[in-house]
Each structure stands twice: as C-alpha cells, then as structure tokens.
Amino acid sequence: MKYFVLFGPPGAGKGTQAGAMVERYNLCHLSTGELLRAEISAGTPLGLEAKSLIEAGNLVPDSVVEGMIESKFRETKGVDGFLLDGFPRTIAQAQSLDGMLAKTSETVSGCISIMIPDSLIHERIAHRALIEGRADDAKDEIVSNRIQTYHSKTEPLIDYYRKAGKYFEIDGTGSIEEVRQRLFDAMDKL
C-alpha cells in the first residue's frame, strides 16, 4: 500500500490536482475536512464527538482526526494507496501518522509538495474567492493569516520528510497541465 502526503500552501493547487492523482494511481483521497463532514453526517462516535466540539466553538483535537484517518485506512478496499490532504499539518501529526502506519509495518511513501510564492498565493486565492464565492478567501487579513500559519506551523514538515528521504517538491507555477505532469513525473518514481 502506498501512502502519499499532499502538501503545499493555500492556493497551491492541491484540490485541483488531487482528482487526477487519485485516478491515475488508484488512490483513496483523504481530505480531513471531508472526513469530518462525512463522520458527522454518518453519526459515528468520532463524528458525534467532532460535532459537539465544533458546535461548542472548539477545534477538533488531533486524536479525533487521527481516529477518522485510521478507520479509513482499515475499511477502504480496492485501492493501491491513499492521498492524504490536510493531514499531517504539524510534526506531532506526522509522528502520529508514522505510528499508525507502523502498526501494519508500513510507512509514508512520499510527501509531494506543490510550492508557489506567497504573491501567487494571494492572487490564486483572490481568484478562487470570485469563482467559488468563498468568503474566507475574500479578506486579505484572513489570507495573510493562513499563509503565516502555513509558514510557521506546517512548513516545518518539509525538514521532517526531507530528513526521512521522502520529500519531493514540485514547482506549482504554470498551467494546471504543466504542474500535473511534474506531479506525475515525481510520483512515477515512487
């Protein structure tokens, strides 16, 4: 089984590219946001816990998200691997993922990072706000905060996966097709 972490700043094109990656490599796409919504909708114990936390205005703790991911690993059949999108976002989460996979003698196959400059992040997110009507993408201060959070909390994962020999950086500038081909070239080697 292959386990890929899809990584990059907001607006890098992770969502745009994930579908093609899933199709080409027969992967199950695990987006933490989608997982939370599905678990809540299904009324599972983890979903009920997440719902009560969210309704109280609290963040869903790592343990709940990790439980959902581990459940998906166990119950998903007929795929050659998983594409993790939105998890891990911190070193602690990456270590938890390593622990989950170690239970079945598996490891992360690679961390594929789509990188773009901060100026392009602003441009792409502003465009996405217009097209998708996303209020969270329309305010510069919110976008700037998301970029800063990415740099301070998530970027340290680059060194974590680089030290493990599992970090592969992709230039996220250019057309969707150009970026997709770079992704495929990197993943074909894994």
Give first-to-last CA distance, the chain, whole Å.
12
* pLDDT tens over the chain, length 190 residues: 999 999 998 889 998 899 999 999 999 999 887 888 888 899 988 888 888 877 776 767 888 889 889 989 999 999 999 999 989 988 999 999 999 999 999 999 999 999 999 888 878 877 776 777 665 556 677 777 778 878 888 889 999 999 999 999 999 999 999 999 999 999 999 8
Active site residue 182: no
Does the active-site annotation cover 74?
no
134 is catalytic: yes
Catalytic residue chosen out of the listed positions 89, 166, 180, 182: 89
Catalytic residue among 37, 74, 77, 134: 134
Q: Which CATH superfamily is domain 2-188 in?
A: P-loop containing nucleotide triphosphate hydrolases (3.40.50.300)
Contacts of 100 (CB under 8 A, 6+ apart): 66, 69, 70, 73
Contact 172, 117 (CB under 8 A): no
Catalytic residue among 128, 166, 180, 182: 128
- Among 2, 51, 72, 146, the active-site one is 146
> Which of 188, 18, 17, 7 has its CA nearest to residue 111?
7
pTM: 0.84
Domain-wise residue ranges, the chain: 2-188
